[in-house]
Amino acid sequence: QMVYRRARVGVRSRDAYLSGAAHPSVFRARDIALARMVGLANAIKPDEVPPMVQLKVLEESEAEEGVDYFGEGLSEVLFDTPSAIARVWRSRAGRRSMVVTAADTQDPNGRALRFDWVRLRGDPEGVRITPLTPDGRYAHIEMDWQDPLPAPGSPDILSHRVDIGVFANNGIHDSAPAFISILLPSHERRVYEPGPEGGLRIA
């Protein structure tokens, strides 16, 4: 995954790799750079192979069915795996937060790791990521409800999702991303205003 994404057409720098344009929902065949992929794969030495990021949610905003949203038997949790965490924003709350850790990530060669948490999709003003440790193994994520925006690199696709990528760097190579994704239901339109206690409430 790292080799495929890092060597795609248009992904010529680390900054480009740590951006939404390098990690679309759907990959187009014309963006495959086969020679670059082979070259990158051959350039990675056995003791330089990056790890697979392992994610875990430690804290998050919780919503109660029948109080914060309606839908018997529904949950905001879609799934939790080591490489992907997915939620559906059903709650009426205008702001939500999570504390997520990548502390279980281990480099296969014992190299020290640092982590980058990157907003890949969503309103840049409505997503705030704060690393909680110097190496970035823990992060606090705060999001505001937001209107859909064009998907990075695909202006014809309107995205109703916030995507955050988590990358581990072993000093030589970045890993493939792990993802935190929050879907904002496309059949809803909400308008929020400041609440009496400084939060957001539906107007």
54 neighbors 105 (Cβ within 8 angstroms): yes
The DSSP symbol for 47 reads G
| Amino acid 81: pLDDT | 98
Local confidence band at 6 (pLDDT 50, 70, 90 cut-offs): very high
95 neighbors 144 (Cβ within 8 angstroms): yes
The sign of the torsion formed by the CA atoms of 96, 99, 102, 104 equals negative
User: In terms of pTM, does the model score above 0.75?
Assistant: yes
Residue 153: both structure tokens together = 């690199």
Rounded to the nearest angstrom, the gap between the alpha carbon of residue 52 and the centroid of all alpha carbons in its chain is: 15
* pLDDT tens-digit readout, 114-154: 999 999 999 999 999 999 999 999 999 999 999 999 999 88
| Amino acid 73: pLDDT | 87
Neighbours of 106 (CB within 10 A): 13
At position 88, the amino acid (one-letter code) is V
| Amino acid 25: pLDDT | 85
162 neighbors 181 (Cβ within 8 angstroms): yes
Residue 187: both structure tokens together = 């059949």
Average pLDDT over residues 35-49: 97
* pLDDT tens-digit readout, 77-112: 999 999 999 999 999 999 999 999 999 999 999 999
Helix %, strand %, coil % for the chain, to 5?
15, 35, 50
- Of residues 86 and 21, more confidence is placed in 86
Question: What's the rounded Cα separation, in Å, for the pair 143 and 34?
Answer: 37
